[in-house]
Amino acid sequence: MVRYGMVIDLNRCIGCRSCAVICKIHNSLPPGTWWHRVETVGSKEHQTPSGDYPNLTELYLPVPCMHCDNPPCVKVCPVGATWKREDGVVLVDFERCIGCRYCMTACPYGVRQFNWEDKDKAVEKGFKAAGFEGEYVEGYRHGYPIDHRTKDGRLVYTPKRPRGVVEKCTFCVQYIDKGLKPACVRGCPGNARIFGDLDDPNSEISKVLRDGAHTRLLEDLGTEPKVFYLLPMKRAERGEVRYSPELEVKL
Amino acid sequence: MKVSRRDFIKLSAATAFASGLGLGYFQKSRGVQQNAGEIKTVRSVCSPNCTGACGFDALVYNGRIETLTQAADYPEPEYNPRGCLRGQSMMNLIYGPDRLKRPLIRVGKRGEGKFKAVSWDEALDYVADRLADIMKRHGPESVAISIQVPGTGYVHKGAMMRLASMFGWSALHGYTMNGDLPAFWSQTFGVQTEEFESLEWTNSKYIAIFGSNIMVTRLPDAKFVNIAAERGAKVVVVDPNFSPTAAKADEWVQINPSTDSAFALAIAREIIENRLYDEEFIKTYTDMPLLVRMDTQKRLMAKEVKELEEIAGKLNVPEYRDVFVVYDVNEGFKPVNPETLERDFEPAIEGEFEVELVDGKRVKVKPVFQLLKEEVQKYTPEKVAEIITPPNRNKGEYVDMIKRLAFEMATVKPLHIIYGASNYQWYHGDLKGRALALIVALTGNLGKSGAGISTYAGQFKIRWPLGAWWSFKGRKNKWVTYLLWMNKEYRQSEEFKKYNRETPYPKNDVKAFLFGWNNPFDQHNMANRMIEYAENGDLELIVAIDFQMTTSCKWADVVLPGVAWYEKYELTATILHPYVQLQQPAIEPLFECMPEIWIFKELAKRLVQKWNDEELKSSISEFYPDPELFDEEERARKDGTWSFRLARNIAHKASLKAVELMLKTGGELVEGITLEKLLKGPVRLNLPTPNKRQIPFWEQINLKKPFPPQSYPVPLQKTARFVKSGRIEFYKEEDVFIDLGETLPVHKDPFVDTEYRLNPEAKRKYRYFYITRNALYRVHSTHSNNITMLELQDFRPRVWLHPITAKENGIAEGDLVEVYNDRGRVYGYAVLDEGLHPSVIIFEQGWWSRYLRGTSYNSLTFPWIKPTHIVYFVPGIWEPTTAWNEVACAVRKVEV
Amino acid sequence: MKFKALVAVLVALAALGMAAWLYQLQEGLIVTNMRNPFSWGLYIAMWAFFVGTAAGGLVVSSAIYIFGAREFKPIAPVASTTAFIFAVGAMVMVLPDLGRVDRILNMFLYPNFSSLLPWDLIVLSTYAFLSAIYTYVLLMPRIAERGVLGFLKKDATDLESLRQKSEKYAKVLAPIALPFAILIHTVTAWVLATQLSRPWWYGGLLAPTFIAAAIATGPAVVILASLFVYGYEDRLKNAYRLLGKISAASSAALLFMYYNDFLVRYWWGEGLEYEALAIVFRDYLHIHFLEVLFILFSAIVLAKATTRARLIIGSVSVNVGVLLHRFLLMPPAYNVFAFSIEGWQYPIAVGEVRGDLFSPQPVFVDYWSYSPSAVEIAVTVGIVAVLSLVLLTLLKALPLKDVGEKA
Ligand SMILES: Nc1nc2c(c(=O)[nH]1)N[C@H]1C(S)=C(S)[C@@H](COP(=O)(O)OP(=O)(O)OC[C@H]3O[C@@H](n4cnc5c(=O)[nH]c(N)nc54)[C@H](O)[C@@H]3O)O[C@H]1N2
Ligand SMILES: Nc1nc2c(c(=O)[nH]1)N[C@H]1C(S)=C(S)[C@@H](COP(=O)(O)OP(=O)(O)OC[C@H]3O[C@@H](n4cnc5c(=O)[nH]c(N)nc54)[C@H](O)[C@@H]3O)O[C@H]1N2
Ligand code: SF4
Ligand code: SF4
Ligand code: SF4
Ligand code: SF4
Ligand code: SF4
Ligand SMILES: [Mo]
């Protein structure tokens, strides 16, 4: 069985937020909603240093859903709308969620987002609040245009977002189920992200993790995240570019 | 879940309010998708002025672009994926609320933004009428155009140039208009610009970045700095301000603003003092062995020397070359053949000699190296530490640092210096560049993999000759210097009269301004000059071609809706990577927007009717590369079958023909590159280097070809005269250099020759440096209105200041502040940044005026012209270039 | 007359609340002031509050049958009625908080028992059910005494045996209800206290404080209800005094545990626990001040509640205090959560674009200053009004008094 995970190389990450943006575009998120964030640790302002001269640092920390192996969000969901699929991907069933937001309270990473209003309204209002005179040309919405259901028929991606339910990063389930890598991995110009099968010892992700120092966020909470971070330091043995749009796993 | 829904309806129906309210709950969100349509992907190229030229796959569904993903199909896997957040969210502009729909003609006052939508015929006829009238009254050169960076689109930008060439209009060169031209290149190497392709960065062992924010401004290439570091290279960033690039470096050196030349000269001094220079290299490739007359400060020419007169006469060199003299340690004075770098002499590079001239006069001469050595003596680490050390920092540490870095740069090879645009966009930017070039030349770091100096501004280099498309039947393109237009005081100044030899200016001034691919009323409106000309009527006609309603469109009289790079065929060839690529239409142009080639063809067609030029009249169908295409559309017009779709399809075909034409006539560099290949994916240029890698001066260093390599489109003789010796020149002998004391690279403090000369009061009133850097979230003003980018910036234009600066001015984090000087002002929200130099205030340029409460960051800037830039005039290569950062300012908190 | 006016006001408030709720259903939860970084607000605070006020039934019945406090016998049915109402009220209170209340059936179709919410639903509904049964059992003889619409009227001997039966059943029911009574508070507390990501809640102390709060408010509610039904009668004075004492003691315990927790958080002087506490003192000091003031005041007043006025003032005051206390469950929990690095909180996208061109507001925030929106307040007030109406109606309609006592 595959068990998907992601590595983000903090040494490579240039804080460009392309991952966050491509996620937003591909997953059709309305203004105000972000499944993926990139911030500068310790700074109020992204890409502005923290610390005092001369010990200034800018460490960029990209945060998608951790797809925890021990996911509190799954544990608390009263109706099993959030669940962990066999491949370890934590998903939300858009048709079962009752919108109680217990999972938002439970998630220690703040990655869950709620549909507080209709998406179309959010778009219209977003443009208005930002000072525009209109919104997208007649009915335009960006994002992968086709609904995606899991094998057992649960709706886990749709560009028409139902109001009143919770959503979050799906590891781009609509793509990985087709053998493609997640959008943020394909869209990272820093070559800082690796996605693959943690259970396959020969996968690139396993190799990189075996090679050396990595960490996970809030490990002591025991959530067992499947997003790993390579620590920001020099690693002489690296220097190769890893990029392929397809998954190594055969589906 | 149907059950509970019905239950719920029952429940709510039981209440008295159900009918009026509540029901919206069940309303389906407006559908843009039915799972019925077909998905296709089209590969195109993102190509705004950042010149990244990143390949993108557009996913098209029901005729609309739904997602954009980096195409990642470059043959070297290292290049994949190229692209960034802006490119990924381009649909926000294509389908955004500011998208232009139809041609517009102004009805309100200029700048008011009131227009009426008109038909294309009406708009084009109107423009043609007005232009013809202006051309008749003021001469065709009073019509000026601007197309910005050529490499992001040879076809459509070429079409505008083609149109301009037909009638003899003037073109403003984007390179200098932007201040992107690093003047030291032409002065030192005789070229327009050179740079490594970014993949080459990984071959360096030492990367010294002087004021370039690679991590932001070369985003798709930035990883190569990281990869180089992983492979063991040391990365040093010299910048007054801590930047994301500094954050990734091994060392960040904070220096005072615009003191890089002092720093570089101190390094040069250390290298020279400690004899760490590559003697072989400087003797072979540079002018350092050449002798300079101490009496005139000009270089000694062979024909002036008594004993060499005869040989010199026999040497057959082109008129753009001069034969200079070295002192050979064995043979004495010896002429140097400027047509080769094969060295047949062993020069003395130090000392002083006496030479007898033809007229019998004996004069003292010294090798350039000797002069340099003497000059850099002034730049001891101690003295330079005085200049570069920021306030409150330890000067002693700076002394040590200078020595250490000099030693490292001299000994760790290959060394690559990256000289940032923001760093040379100062009045004395050329001096800084010359000083930095000195470091790589002294250490022999040129022409090899990973060794060299690069500048990465907007990339203006034209990759191969394009004349077959860019000019109409061999007619000349005329150029006019943008800064002369902005700075009318300078045009009339004594200085200009004294030094100007070639720089032209239309005798009746610029009267009509047509621009595409840029937004000058935000980006180039120095000291509000452009607005002034628009308001006082000096500018009689303003025509904007864009695909969205920019600030400049609001100032225009006529707005012509063009298209974005997913709606047309286009050829791109920018510089960060050596790939030629094709843009392809993923979707049909929205509304009534038209590919630019069509717009210019239609304008040309209408103008020839009003212009007395029989040749043009009879050959107008040749505007399209295939006249048959022109005729086809005319026929359709006549028989009433014309439609937007037809015209667009013809324009697409014509675009492809233009591509083929440029490839066919482009010479060796594009030999074998065909449309068919480009339709399949990116194709590398035939560069004359191993593996076709883009390594500047490879031929000069390895094949001993004289400097300079050709800078397209100008013929070699035009640029070779900049370096008459055929060598890398650090000694400039033209009068203005002598008068200004800049024959050799020297350091000059900022503002002394500019702000303080203009207004001595400025020194007291405006104590801060106003630096307008580039933003992650925009390419200049493009994406200013991208809602996704706006979200990431909290919708706020910001002003970065050091906490000390903030305190001095009573400003707290998040306050709305005004940065101002006598010329203008701009608003933004304060960000306190420990990494900033305490004298620096940063504004990230590119915000449309609408986000700035109507102000503009360019109302503070000024069109300075440095006289060393008017010695020659080769457009975009040696001409006055803009210095955005040479601005003194003050800051205060405001309540609005 | 006064009563009618009260009912009229309550009906109006209930109608307003319903309208507000419908509006919320139409527009989405966007009309609340909750957002992604602060995803539970007044509704959930009220849910926790109602669970507390439902404790009266337990206190009284267990006091009678387990601790032998006979003086409570007369007011026991009132107590259990309030327990029923507020247990139901707590469940109702969650409904407006749901994004998809239309899918509420999923709670029964796909319950996930690792989540504490289904458990909470189970204990709350069981408790409500038991309270209702208990009330019925207590009232059995009186119903029989009066008959319902002329039927069921029993004669004296039957009545006596009914009374004994009632007594017997009540004795049996009390110990069954007791664990549920405790469970409703603990499980509710556990919903929050199990959240490792929320340092303000996480830990073992939350459940005891919930119980303390419940035992402070529950009796107070019973006092108010009994006063409404029976007035300040001599025979009930002891019961009132005792209820007051229980509430006061529990308030003291609550304050003790609260400040005990504060001290533990404060002592280390750093870290998320401390940060959460700091928020109370930095940003919500006014509410905290009022919360403590009301609770402390009530404890003093109710400790020796010897007049009707004291009883009313004390009982109202403890409820106000605990309501504020419940509100303060939220801000430190959401504004200080696990994803924090040396005091720097990783910002969360709000879920909405706010502001306008010249007063733009950030999308990513590390702090959300929450106060309930008008809609949230209206919905809450509406629900409180409905609950009060139902309670008043029940108190009026049920045969809570012995025959002969005057209405
Ligand atoms: N994201 C993005 N990328 C872009 C563009 C864009 O608009 N957005 N524009 C493209 C274009 S056209 C250009 S020209 C380039 C410009 O690219 P860059 O030259 O990198 O541009 P900047 O961001 O303006 O400035 C970089 C750094 O120069 C420093 N600097 C300023 N003055 C001095 C000085 O006197 N000495 C030293 N040592 N440093 C100094 C600033 O502090 C800043 O950190 O970027 C290109 N890439
Ligand atoms: N103060 C200050 N001013 C600066 C700078 C600075 O650092 N400080 N930087 C300067 C520099 S380096 C530069 S390069 C300039 C850049 O300034 P500009 O060249 O004006 O660049 P943009 O603002 O990106 O404007 C490009 C416009 O072209 C339009 N466009 C893009 N593609 C197409 C197309 O295919 N067809 C048509 N019809 N339109 C298209 C876009 O919508 C956009 O409005 O700004 C300069 N101005
Ligand atoms: S796209 Fe890659 S480099 Fe950019 S912020 Fe995300 S992870 Fe970092
Ligand atoms: S990061 Fe949060 S949402 Fe994602 S699996 Fe873990 S707990 Fe759930
Ligand atoms: S909001 Fe939806 S996904 Fe989250 S816990 Fe509630 S029902 Fe489950
Ligand atoms: S994996 Fe997909 S959904 Fe998750 S952050 Fe990346 S792009 Fe977004
Ligand atoms: S904006 Fe520039 S860097 Fe970004 S994708 Fe487009 S071309 Fe590439
Ligand atoms: Mo530029």
Pairing of strands C364-365, C348-349: antiparallel
Q: Which domain CATH number covers C307?
A: 1.20.1630.10
Written as six digits, the tokens of A88 are 């370890």
Secondary element (H or E) of residue B515: strand B512-516
Domains of chain B: 1-35 (no CATH), 104-181+461-574+587-683 (3.40.50.740), 287-375+705-739 (no CATH), 755-893 (2.40.40.20)
Cβ–Cβ contacts within 10 Å for residue C179, how many?
14
**Amino acid at residue number B65:** I
Which pLDDT tens digit goes with each residue over B38-91? 899 999 999 999 999 999 999 999 999 999 999 999 999 999 999 999 999 999
Distance between CA atoms of residues C319 and B303, nearest Å: 107
pLDDT interval class at A238 (50, 70, 90): low
Secondary element (H or E) of residue A113: strand A113-114
Q: Is residue B36's pLDDT more than 80?
A: no
The alpha carbon dihedral of C147, C148, C149, C151 has a sign of: negative
Cα of A24 vs centre of ligand 6, distance in Å, is: 8
Distance between CA atoms of residues B661 and B680, nearest Å: 19
In a domain, C405, yes or no: no
Q: Is residue A80's pLDDT more than 50?
A: yes
pLDDT at C407: 40
Q: Is residue B739's pLDDT more than 70?
A: yes
Cβ–Cβ contacts within 10 Å for residue B674, how many?
15
Measured at the CA of A158, the angle between CA A93 and CA A197, to 5 degrees, comes to 65
pLDDT at B312: 86
Written as six digits, the tokens of B660 are 């083929």
**Nearest one of B231, B175, B152 to B199, comparing CA atoms:** B231
Secondary element (H or E) of residue B582: strand B579-583
- Cα distance from B525 to chain C (closest Cα, Å)? 23
| Contact present, B152 and B516 (Cβ < 8 Å) | no
When pLDDT is averaged across residues B216-231 and rounded to a whole number, the result is: 95
Distance between CA atoms of residues C379 and C93, nearest Å: 9
Residue B489: HSE in the Cβ half-sphere, 13 Å Cα cutoff: 7
Domain extents for chain A?
Answer: 4-236
Average per-residue pLDDT in chain A?
94
Which pLDDT tens digit goes with each residue over B454-503? 999 977 889 999 999 999 999 999 999 999 999 999 999 999 999 998 99
DSSP B789-851: HHHHTTT--EEEE-HHHHHHTT--TT-EEEEE-SS-EEEEEEEE-TTS-TTEEEEE----GGG
pLDDT at B12: 37
pLDDT at A239: 56
Written as six digits, the tokens of B887 are 């601005």
Nearest bound ligand to CA B261?
A: 1
Which residue from B16, B18, B791 is facing C363, i.e. has the nearest CB? B791
Question: Residue A33: exposed, middle, or buried by beta-carbon count in 10 A (0-12, 13-18, 19+)?
Answer: buried
Q: Which residue has the tokens 């507020």?
A: C86
When pLDDT is averaged across residues B258-284 and rounded to a whole number, the result is: 98
| Contact present, A5 and A227 (Cβ < 8 Å) | yes
Distance between CA atoms of residues A151 and A149, nearest Å: 6
- Cα distance from A38 to chain C (closest Cα, Å)? 9
Q: Which of residues 375-394 of B touch A (CB under 8 A)?
A: none
pLDDT interval class at A103 (50, 70, 90): very high
pLDDT at B3: 36
Instruction: Provide the 3-class DSSP secondary structure of residue B548.
Output: strand
pLDDT at C1: 65
Interface contact flag, C22 B22, Cβ < 8 Å: yes
Cα of B419 vs centre of ligand 1, distance in Å, is: 10
Q: Block means of pLDDT (10 residues each) for chain C, length 407 residues?
A: 89 97 97 98 97 86 83 90 96 97 96 97 95 91 78 77 89 87 94 96 95 95 94 91 95 96 93 94 96 97 93 97 97 95 94 95 96 98 96 90 57
> Is residue B849 in contact with ligand 2, taking CB distance under 6 Å?
no
Written as six digits, the tokens of B658 are 């233009």
In a domain, C334, yes or no: yes
Number of domains in chain C: 1
ipTM of the complex: 0.95
**Nearest one of C317, C327, C265 to C293, comparing CA atoms:** C317
Q: What is the DSSP letter of B681?
A: S
Q: Is residue B379's pLDDT more than 80?
A: yes
Which pLDDT tens digit goes with each residue over C324-377? 999 999 999 999 999 999 889 999 999 999 999 999 999 999 999 999 999 999
Q: Which residue has the tokens 């009527």?
A: B537
pLDDT at C20: 98
Which residue from C22, C355, C362 is facing B21, i.e. has the nearest CB? C22
Phi first, then psi, for residue C348 (nearest 5°) are -120, 145
Please give the residue that has the higher pLDDT: either B811 or B21. B811
pLDDT interval class at A97 (50, 70, 90): very high
Nearest bound ligand to CA A195?
A: 6
Q: Which residue has the tokens 């101690």?
A: B382
Distance between CA atoms of residues C299 and B163, nearest Å: 90
- Cα distance from C40 to chain B (closest Cα, Å)? 21
Which pLDDT tens digit goes with each residue over B97-133? 999 999 999 999 999 999 999 999 999 999 999 999 9
Written as six digits, the tokens of C232 are 């300040």
Q: Is residue B520's pLDDT more than 60?
A: yes
User: For residue C22, which residues of chain B lie inside 8 Å, CB to CB?
Assistant: 12, 15, 17-18, 21-22
Distance between CA atoms of residues C46 and C383, nearest Å: 10
Which pLDDT tens digit goes with each residue over A1-38? 899 999 999 999 999 999 999 999 999 999 999 999 99
Question: Of A10, A16, A26, which is best to mutate to test ligand 3, by the most ligand atoms within 8 angstroms of its C-beta?
Answer: A16
Distance between CA atoms of residues C366 and A155, nearest Å: 31
Distance between CA atoms of residues B798 and B772, nearest Å: 11
C28 reaches A (C-beta below 8 A) = yes
Q: Which of residues 363-392 of C touch A (CB under 8 A)?
A: 363-364
Interface contact flag, C362 B853, Cβ < 8 Å: no
Which residues touch B404 (CB under 8 Å, ≥6 apart)?
Answer: none
How far is CA C382 from each of CA C14, C60, C92, rounded to the nearest angstrom? 4, 28, 11
Average per-residue pLDDT in chain B?
94
Nearest bound ligand to CA B155?
A: 2
Which residue from A49, A95, A189 is facing B81, i.e. has the nearest CB? A189
Distance between CA atoms of residues A154 and B456, nearest Å: 50
Q: Is residue B23's pLDDT more than 50?
A: no
Please give the residue that has the higher pLDDT: either C51 or B2. C51
Distance between CA atoms of residues C13 and C17, nearest Å: 6
Distance between CA atoms of residues B511 and B533, nearest Å: 9
Length in residues, chain C: 407
**Nearest one of B339, B328, B332 to B283, comparing CA atoms:** B328
Measured at the CA of C196, the angle between CA C191 and CA C197, to 5 degrees, comes to 100
Cβ–Cβ contacts within 10 Å for residue B139, how many?
16
Phi first, then psi, for residue B240 (nearest 5°) are -60, -25
pLDDT at C59: 77
Which residue from C99, C346, C351 is facing A98, i.e. has the nearest CB? C99
Phi first, then psi, for residue B842 (nearest 5°) are -110, 135
Phi first, then psi, for residue B283 (nearest 5°) are -70, -35
pLDDT interval class at B5 (50, 70, 90): very low
pLDDT at B534: 98
DSSP B46-68: E-STT---EEEEEEEETTEEEEE
Q: Which of residues 762-791 of B touch C (CB under 8 A)?
A: 791
In a domain, C403, yes or no: no
B813 reaches C (C-beta below 8 A) = no
pLDDT at A241: 66
Q: What is the DSSP letter of B185?
A: I
| Contact present, B433 and B441 (Cβ < 8 Å) | no
> Is residue B782 in contact with ligand 2, taking CB distance under 6 Å?
yes
Q: Omega into A162 within 30° of 0, i.e. cis? A: no
Interface contact flag, A98 C115, Cβ < 8 Å: no
Instruction: Provide the 3-class DSSP secondary structure of residue A75.
Output: helix
The mean-pLDDT minimum among A198-207, B18-27, B274-283, C187-196 falls in B18-27
SS (H, E, C) B110-129: CCCCCEEECCHHHHHHHHHH
Distance between CA atoms of residues B759 and B811, nearest Å: 27
pLDDT at C241: 93
Written as six digits, the tokens of B777 are 């979230």
pLDDT interval class at A213 (50, 70, 90): confident
In a domain, C171, yes or no: yes
Written as six digits, the tokens of B542 are 């303003």
Instruction: Provide the 3-class DSSP secondary structure of residue A136.
Output: coil
Q: Which of residues 99-138 of B touch A (CB under 8 A)?
A: 99
Domain A4-236 belongs to what architecture?
A: 2-Layer Sandwich (3.30)
When pLDDT is averaged across residues A130-158 and rounded to a whole number, the result is: 96
Which pLDDT tens digit goes with each residue over B683-733? 999 999 999 999 999 999 999 999 999 999 999 999 999 999 999 999 999
- Cα distance from B4 to chain C (closest Cα, Å)? 5
* Atom 6 of ligand 6, residue of closest alpha carbon: A184
Secondary element (H or E) of residue B636: helix B627-638
Which pLDDT tens digit goes with each residue over C51-69? 999 988 877 887 888 888 8
Domain extent for C375: 1-397
